Amino acid sequence: MKRVFFIFSLLIFGIIAKSQVATTKMQLSATEHDFGTFKEEAGRQTYDFIVTNTGIEPLVIKNVVASCGCTTPDWTKQPIPAGGKGKVTAIYDPANRPGQFNKTLSVYTNTKPEVVVLVIKGEVIPHEKTTEELYTFVVGGVRFESNHLAFTNVKKTEKKMRVMQLINTSAEPVKVEFDALPAHLTLISNPETLKPGQKGMVEGTYDATKNAGWGNISDMVKIKLNGLIQENLYYYVSANLVEDFSSLTKEELDNAPVFKVESTTVDLGKIKGSTQNEVEFKFKNEGKRDLSIRFIRSTCGCTAVQQGNQGVGIKSGESSSIKAVFNSGTYSGKVTKAIYVYTNDPKNSEVVLMLTADVEQPAPVK
């Protein structure tokens, strides 16, 4: 009986051992590769991680997933026989990606473990940009870095400065000026006259105290070269004009007005085209001091807005409303419009009200 049990045990052990030996095994030439330092203009960098099947069953690389779109993986798609070799290829694209990088490739196989992580790293030296790449806005023989000078947030109490580079790419001197500037904006070229090949600087000053508007405001400015206005070319200047709450004390902040609107979105549902549709946004001053509506604007001329008690401070606890009239015109289908409200509430100085509708146009006459 003991002999039979011993033989049976040997058979079971042999079966288990055989199944363990049969398990597919993968050996990698490396799990990490350093491309070192290379120039961006060198283009895509490629490295092969060599895979060896050290088991006795076919090895299958099911999938390889890169950690970012900058790395393209490739791999041996056919089963790799016992003792055979395959590869996982990492292709790194450095275009517009200067600096150090450290990326991963997750390799999914029929081995244990099922997932192996490979690492590629290196450092990309950025290529030297051409004049055309650095100065993208072309006006005659002069090139600007951009056609847009952005002042971002500007407090209503301040003057803010911004600069932008420009270059004279022509063979003649060019005098650069800006035509018909609004009162709140100053733009000069320094130097005013650029020699051939000379670089200069557009120096801009935005005086928010001279602009009655609020929120995002853009100005379109024409450019003069050697006294001639450049037609159909505009230099855009933008700013977001905001309330200055920096001087308020803690007590003033605690006692500030609070703009509380009942609902920031009104859905008109299904409406007909070419109709006038009225909506009303009700709000209340839940603060302790008078609430002022500084400015209201909509995202298109199809929406007219007005405030009840226009120009009058809203006392603590009092309510009022903002009324809008939406002209559905030739719109069709789902339409969304925004109304921006600017207040003296430090926590709600800019509030966005949304107006939505589903516009139905009459069927065309056959």
Query: What is the full DSSP assignment across 126-190?
Result: PPPPPHHHH--EEETTEEES-SEEEEEEEETT-EEEEEEEEEE-SSS-EEEEEES--TTEEEEEE
Closest to 326 in 3D by CA, of 286, 273, 283: 273
- C-alpha to C-alpha distance for 233 and 112, rounded to whole angstroms: 64
Integer Cα distance of 201 and 310 in angstroms: 44
Tokens of 220: 């379109």
Mean pLDDT by 10 residues, the chain (366 residues): 47 44 80 95 95 94 92 94 94 94 95 92 92 95 97 94 97 96 97 97 97 92 96 94 92 95 93 92 94 87 68 86 91 92 92 93 78
Res 181: pLDDT: 96
Structure tokens at 357: 């509708």
What residue spans of 35-149 are helical by DSSP H?
131-134
Domains along the chain? 22-125 (2.60.40.10), 131-242 (2.60.40.10), 254-360 (2.60.40.10)
pLDDT at 158: 95
CA triple 57-60-64, angle to 5 deg: 155
Amino acid at 162: R
Closest CA to 34 of 126, 128, 109, 124: 124
How high is the pLDDT of residue 5? 45
For residue 313, the model assigns a pLDDT of 86
Of 274, 281, 355, 284, nearest in space to 315 by CA = 284
What are the Cα distances from residue 282, in Å, to 16, 304, 338, 351? 77, 16, 16, 13
Give pLDDT, residue 99: 94
